């Protein structure tokens, strides 16, 4: 599937399945209602969150969702959107802090304590481990073929990828800060480690000369496409495009963290506060 073909799928064959559309509309409506009632809530955070919701909808309801069980290359583009594009946008939107602002005092305290407890458990190394287990586990041939054959498992796979993306991006972008906070010098190391599973899986698929996921053999033939060639293209998408997207967004997150740390230090210096 060429880049032009992927762009075509993004603009056609929309299914607008009721469940994803309803969930996306609900997530957007609740966020907008809370943002409207929060004085001086940054518009850029609202824009990022809505872009994240829209990205999820594009991944599952556009032509990508129609062809993801026929062409592995299309499925990999869908994975990149759910793993590496939607999660950082959603986290930049800061939905949890916004929710805390709008809750009544007692629920706010309970919810806040729960978030702090989760943050204490969520060490960056644990986030990396969970992300790797989900990513590698789903790409095992038996598991992957089963998710393509079953609509229910396929939907759960999408949820798992979105969850894996939120987990791996949380130490870079999320709140509350996980235990074992990343310093500016360790951000790049974390990002590099996070890129390894996707790179390895992509490279493996790109170099294979036989079909790894048998479920794609018949649909590819029906479309007049070589299943092996499509698989190699899927590996290249995951290896090159996926790693590039993750690197670009990760570097942007690292730069943002460094600028934020510099601003905090300037404030300390201005007020004579020891670091």
Report the percentage of the chain scoring pLDDT > 90: 42
pLDDT band, very low/low/confident/very high, at 156 (cuts 50, 70, 90): very high
Query: 3-state DSSP: the chain helix, strand, coil percent, rounded to 5?
Result: 80, 0, 20
pTM greater than 0.75 (yes/no): yes
pLDDT (tens digit, 9 = 90+) per residue, 70-100? 889 889 999 999 999 999 999 999 888 888 7
- Cα gap 5→170, rounded to integer Å: 32
pLDDT computed for residue 240 by the predictor: 87
What does the pLDDT read at residue 179?
54
In the three-class reduction of DSSP (H, G, I as helix; E, B as strand; rest coil), residue 136 is classed as helix
Q: Which of 35-44, 47-56, 136-145, 181-190 has the lowest mean pLDDT?
A: 181-190
Q: Which of 221, 212, 247 is nearest to 76 (CA)?
A: 212
SS3 129: helix
pLDDT tens digits, one per residue of 185-217? 677 788 889 999 999 999 999 999 999 999 999
């Amino acid at each position: 599937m060429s880049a032009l073909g992927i762009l075509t799928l993004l603009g056609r064959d929309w299914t607008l399945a009721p469940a994803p559309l309803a969930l996306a509309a609900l997530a957007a409506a609740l966020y907008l209602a809370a943002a409207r009632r929060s004085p001086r809530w940054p518009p850029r955070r609202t824009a990022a969150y809505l872009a994240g919701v829209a990205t999820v909808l594009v991944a599952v309801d556009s032509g990508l969702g129609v062809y993801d069980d026929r062409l592995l290359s299309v499925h990999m583009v869908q994975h990149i959107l759910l793993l590496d594009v939607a999660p950082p946008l959603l986290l930049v939107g800061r939905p949890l802090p916004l929710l805390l602002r709008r809750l009544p005092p007692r629920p706010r305290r309970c919810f806040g304590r729960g978030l702090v407890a989760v943050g204490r458990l969520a060490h960056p190394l644990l986030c990396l481990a969970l992300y790797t287990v989900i990513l590698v586990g789903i790409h095992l041939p038996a598991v992957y073929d089963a998710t393509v054959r079953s609509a229910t498992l396929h939907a759960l796979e999408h949820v798992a990828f979105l969850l894996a993306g939120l987990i791996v991006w949380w130490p870079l972008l999320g709140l509350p800060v996980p235990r074992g906070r990343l310093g500016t010098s360790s951000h790049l190391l974390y990002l590099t480690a996070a890129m390894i599973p996707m790179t390895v899986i992509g490279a493996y698929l790109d170099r294979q000369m036989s079909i790894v996921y048998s479920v794609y053999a018949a649909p590819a033939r029906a479309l007049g496409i070589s299943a092996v060639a499509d698989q190699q293209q899927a590996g290249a998408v995951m290896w090159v495009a996926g790693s590039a997207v993750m690197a670009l967004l990760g570097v942007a997150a690292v730069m943002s963290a460094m600028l934020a740390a510099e601003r905090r230090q300037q404030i300390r210096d201005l007020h004579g506060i020891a670091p």
